[in-house]
Structure 1
Amino acid sequence: MMKTAKAALALGLLAAPAGAFAQEPVQNIDPQRHGNLAAAQDLTRQAYDRLSLAQKENHNNLGGHADKAKELLRQANIEIRLAADAANQR
């Protein structure tokens, strides 16, 4: 992805309202093409799911930290996808 497209994505993330990040991390990297990146994306998804379970078990009483961690995992997922895109352009 070009620098301008990446910058636009970053600005969009910063400008988006908090509720816009309700989407769970996706798994959209071909493991045959980028095995390590696909595995990293899978791990972000697993961590997100575990945080959801922890929230449920603790009746969402985790001081907002689990929500913050889930947002960071969503952002990491996007960066992993951008890494795969960059590798595809080589």
Structure 2
Amino acid sequence: MIRKWMLGSVVCTSLIFGCASQADQPQVDIGDRHGNLRDAQEHIVQAWRLVGEAQRDNDSRLGGHAARAKELLSQANDELRLAADTANEHER
């Protein structure tokens, strides 16, 4: 009974984290006005996708490090967006 409960908990946790990581998927949302920042965003999106492919290829047995990398990529993407917003505020 305990074994079934633990298996169910693991499956539910995996689904929750899988959905959470999908929700944080970075997107390119910086325009051409800030070409370098936009290029950086494009690379982040590509890296995020490739990490996801590595997770699938390794049946998500990467010790949580790939998931953490995706979180950090999402954070970096957010920071680039903020940098572009700040640049827009300070332009004349």
Q: TM-score, normalised by structure 2?
A: 0.73
State the match for 2:85 in structure 1: 85
Inter-partner Cα distance in structure 1 for 2:85 and 2:20: 23
Task: For 1:23, give the aligned amino acid.
Answer: D
**Is the 8 Å Cα contact of residues 24 and 71 (structure 2) preserved in structure 1?**
no
- In the superposition, the TM-score normalised over structure 1's length comes to 0.75
The percentage of aligned residue pairs carrying the same residue is 51
Give the letter for the 1:86 counterpart: T
Tell me the CA shift for residue 23 of structure 1: 2.3
Match of 1:40 in 2: 40
1: distance between equivalents of 2:80 and 2:71?
14
CA-atom RMSD in angstroms: 1.4
Distance (Å, rounded) in 2 between the aligned partners of 1:41 and 1:59:
27
2:31 corresponds in structure 1 to 30
**Residue in 2 that maps onto 1:66:** 66
Greater RCO, CA 8 A, separation 6+: 1
Count of residue correspondences: 72
**Mapped partners of 1:27, 1:81: distance in 2:** 9
Which structure has the highest helix share of the two?
2
User: Highest Rg: 1 or 2?
Assistant: 2
